[in-house]
Structure 1
Amino acid sequence: MYSEIQRERADIGGLMARPEYREWNPELIKPKKLLNPVKASRSHQELHRELLMNHRRGLGVDSKPELQRVLEHRRRNQLLKKKKEELEAKRLQCPLEQELLRRQQRLNQLEKPPEKEEDHAPEFIKVRENLRRIATLTSEERAL
C-alpha cells in the first residue's frame, strides 16, 4: 500500500515535469488561502503585538475590573465569616443554654394557641361579630 502512494506521487511529479502540463491546468493549481480581514487589519496586529509584549513582561490581562474583584472578595469574606460565626454559636452553646431555649420555645407555643384560635374562626362568624358591634354603636348613637 505504501508503494502505491509513492507511485501516485511519482506520477503526479512526472506530469509536472512534462512540458505539455506546464501550461494552465485547473486540477493542478492549488487555491490560495483567503486572508482573514480581522487579522489583516492594522489595529488587530497592534493589539496582538501589545498582548505579546505584556505576556513576555509577565503582565496578565485583567479579565474583571478592579472594583468588581474587590466587591466579590468582600462578599466571599462576609459569607465565610457568617458561616464561621454560626458554627461557633452552635458549638459554644452548652447543654444548659440548649435546655433553656427548648423551654422558652415550649412556653411560647403554649401562649400562642389562644390567639391562633381566634384567627382561625370562620369568616362569617367574624363578620357577624363586626355587625353586632356596629349595631350596638348605632343604637347608642340614637339614644344620644
Structure 2
Amino acid sequence: MYSEIQRERADIGGLMARPEHREWNPELIKPKKLINPVKASRSHQELHRELLMNHRRGLSVDSKPELQRVMEQRRRNQLLKKKMEELEAKRLQCPLEQELRRRQQRLDQLENPPEKEEEHAPEFIRVRENLRRIATLTSEERSL
C-alpha cells in the first residue's frame, strides 16, 4: 500500500514537471472524500475504540452483568403473570358478578344524568343568557 502511494506521487510529480502535460487532466484532480459528521464526533470515536478493545480482549459487547439479566427476566415474568391473572379474572367472572356490575352501572347512570347541553356551551353563550336574565329582571322591576 505504501509503495502504491509513492508510485502515485511520483506519477503526479513526473507529469506535472513535464512541460507537455501542463494542460488540465481530470485524472490528476481527485475529489476529496466528504467527512461523515457522525464518525468525526468524539463520542463515536471513543465508542468505536472501546468496541475494538473489547473485541481484542474477547469480551462480548452484549454481555450484561448476571444480576442485571436475572432482574430483567424476573420483571418480565412478573408482568406476564400479572397480565395472565387479569385475563383469567375477566374470563372466570361468574354470571352473578357480571349482572351485579351491569345493574350498578345502570344505577349510576340514573343517579348521575348526562350533563345538560348548556354546561357544554361556550362561555360567551352562557354569559349572554345571564345578561338576558338580568335585563328581564331589571325591566320587570321598573314596571313595578
Give TM-score scaled by structure 2 length.
0.40
Q: How high is the sequence identity, in percent, across the aligned residues?
A: 92
Deviation at 1:136, TM superposition (A): 14
CA contact (8 A) 2:118 2:126 kept: no
SS at match of 1:54: helix
- From the superposition, tell whether residues 85 and 138 of structure 1 become closer, same or farther in structure 2 (CA, over 3 Å): farther
Deviation at 1:65, TM superposition (A): 2.5
Gap regions ≥5 residues in structure 1 = none
Deviation, 1:90, is 1.3
Distance 1:115 1:5, change over 3 A: closer
C-alpha distance 134-8 of structure 1, shift in aligned 2 (>3 A): closer
Q: 1:99 to 1:7 in 2, by over 3 A?
A: same
SS at structure 2 position matched to 1:115: coil
Aligned-residue Cα RMSD (Å) equals: 10.9
- The Cα shift of 1:74 comes to 2.5
Checking the alignment, whether the CA contact within 8 Å between 2:12 and 2:28 is kept in structure 1 is no
Q: How many residues align?
A: 144
Structure 1 pair 57/107, CA: closer, same or farther in 2 (3 Å)? same
How far residue 88 of structure 1 moved from its aligned partner, in angstroms, is 2.2
Runs of 5+ in structure 2 lacking a partner?
none
- Cα–Cα, structure 1 residues 137 and 64, in superposed 2: closer, same or farther, change >3 Å? farther
**Residue 133 of structure 2: SS of its match in structure 1?**
helix
| Farther-moved stretch of structure 1 (59-68 vs 12-21) | 12-21
Between the aligned partners of 2:83 and 2:75, the Cα distance in structure 1 is 12
Higher relative contact order (CA 8 A, sep 6+): 2
